[in-house]
């Protein structure tokens, strides 16, 4: 079991609504990355946060945004939800500049109806 905790574990939202997903990083890790995993697919990189700033972004629209807090925990916000946003959202924490591995949380299963 990793030290990365995500909440909530499951969530159902209506199309057009907004959602906030949370991630608590592994102790000592200062970097968090978020991924979207659609059913039957591999995870896709959304963005990474380091020192409270976005430090890299995948091919996702601006309605996907994030925050990283001084304690290195993080939020993923998605506005104007679409049906295709239904997926497992995974966060991973790691330590920038270190050769240590990244640890993933168990994910939040988001269903948009």
Partner 1 sequence: AQKVTQAQTEISVVEKEDVTLDCVYETRDTTYYLFWYKQPPSGELVFLIRRNSFDEQNEISGRYSWNFQKSTSSFNFTITASQVVDSAVYFCALSDPYSGGGADGLTFGKGTHLIIQP
Contact residues for partner 1, defined by CB under 8 A:
2, 4, 31, 33, 35, 40-45, 48, 55-56, 58, 88, 90, 92-97, 99, 101-107, 109
Residue number with CB closer to partner 1 (15 or 69): 69
**Residue 67 Cβ vs partner 1, minimum distance, rounded to whole Å:** 16
**Residue 6 Cβ vs partner 1, minimum distance, rounded to whole Å:** 9
CA distances from 27 to 23, 56, 72, 93 (A): 12, 22, 9, 9
**Residue 70 Cβ vs partner 1, minimum distance, rounded to whole Å:** 20
CA distance 91 to 75: 9
6: left (phi over 0), alpha (psi -120 to 50) or beta: beta
């Amino acid at each position: 079991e990793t030290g990365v905790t995500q909440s909530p574990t499951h969530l159902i939202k209506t199309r057009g609504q907004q959602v906030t997903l949370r991630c608590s990083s592994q102790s000592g890790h200062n970097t968090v990355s978020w991924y979207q995993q659609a059913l039957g697919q591999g995870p896709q990189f959304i963005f990474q946060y380091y020192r409270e700033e976005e430090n890299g972004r995948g091919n996702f629209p601006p309605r996907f945004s994030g925050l990283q807090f001084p304690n290195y925990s993080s939020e993923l916000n998605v506005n104007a939800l679409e049906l295709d946003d239904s997926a497992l959202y995974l966060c991973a924490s790691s330590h920038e500049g270190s050769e240590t591995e990244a640890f993933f949380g168990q994910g939040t299963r988001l269903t948009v109806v």
